[in-house]
Amino acid sequence: AQTVTQSQPEMSVQEAETVTLSCTYDTSESDYYLFWYKQPPSRQMILVIRQEAYKQQNATENRFSVNFQKAAKSFSLKISDSQLGDAAMYFCAPGTSYGKLTFGQGTILTVHP
Amino acid sequence: DTAVSQTPKYLVTQMGNDKSIKCEQNLGHDTMYWYKQDSKKFLKIMFSYNNKELIINETVPNRFSPKSPDKAHLNLHINSLELGDSAVYFCASSQETAYEQYFGPGTRLTVT
């Protein structure tokens, strides 16, 4: 079983600044993966970044990076040089090896010009 | 080219009716999924098929039945619709079960 907690219902950031979204999880799986997805007002679910739990190196994808602390079961998302187009709801989601994603409650990110 | 497509995008129907939502992916993926997102944006997996075989079947009423005619298609049929079925339903696919999932645009179902 997996559980996810995103403790920040809402966050805001100034354009060009950096923001970090928090996520903690619990899992009984030994082999699992972690994802961040964003959902803009268009409602499309868009993959932001993926992390294999067996890898110590933190994943990065352009302006997006994660801070993965396996022992603490923490998986935060850092967005650098924030842009207006980053405004969305962000979901943290641990996933099992058989494809079951468990989504957090989401964090609404507002980007101010 | 749309990678994961769903039809229809919007569906308004009355209680008691039966409806279907279709999903197609052109990514060549082996695994497809159905998710339900409620009014509070909570997203939960319903079903998953890998090579046309059901591998995830969460606690979902029997009124919901997935059908996978081939690897590229996964349809969702809902019988005797209830008010509580109103939600956005997302289809997704992945290359293998442990890989990232790509989502369709969603189908907003409204039951009146």
- 3-class secondary structure, B83: helix
Q: Which residue of B has its CA nearest to A32?
A: B98
pLDDT of residue B1 exceeding 70: no
DSSP summary character for residue B62: T
Contact (CB, 8 A) for B81 and B21: no
Q: What is d(CA A4, CA B16) in angstroms, rounded to the nearest whole number?
A: 35
Contact B56 A105 (CB under 8 A): no
Contact A100 B101 (CB under 8 A): no
Q: Which residues of B touch A64 (CB under 8 A)?
A: none
- Asked whether the CA dihedral B29, A4, A22, B88 is positive or negative, the reply is positive
Q: What is the mean pLDDT of residues B66-95?
A: 96
Partner residue opposite A101 with nearest CB, options B55, B101, B102: B101
Q: Which residues of A touch B48 (CB under 8 A)?
A: 98-100
Q: 3-state secondary structure string, A20-68?
A: EECCEEEECCCCEEEEEEEECCCCCCEEEEEEECCCCCCCEECCEEEEE
| Between residues B55 and B35, the one the model is more confident about | B35
pLDDT band at A98 (very low <50, low <70, confident <90, very high): confident
Partner residue opposite A43 with nearest CB, options B42, B56, B106: B106
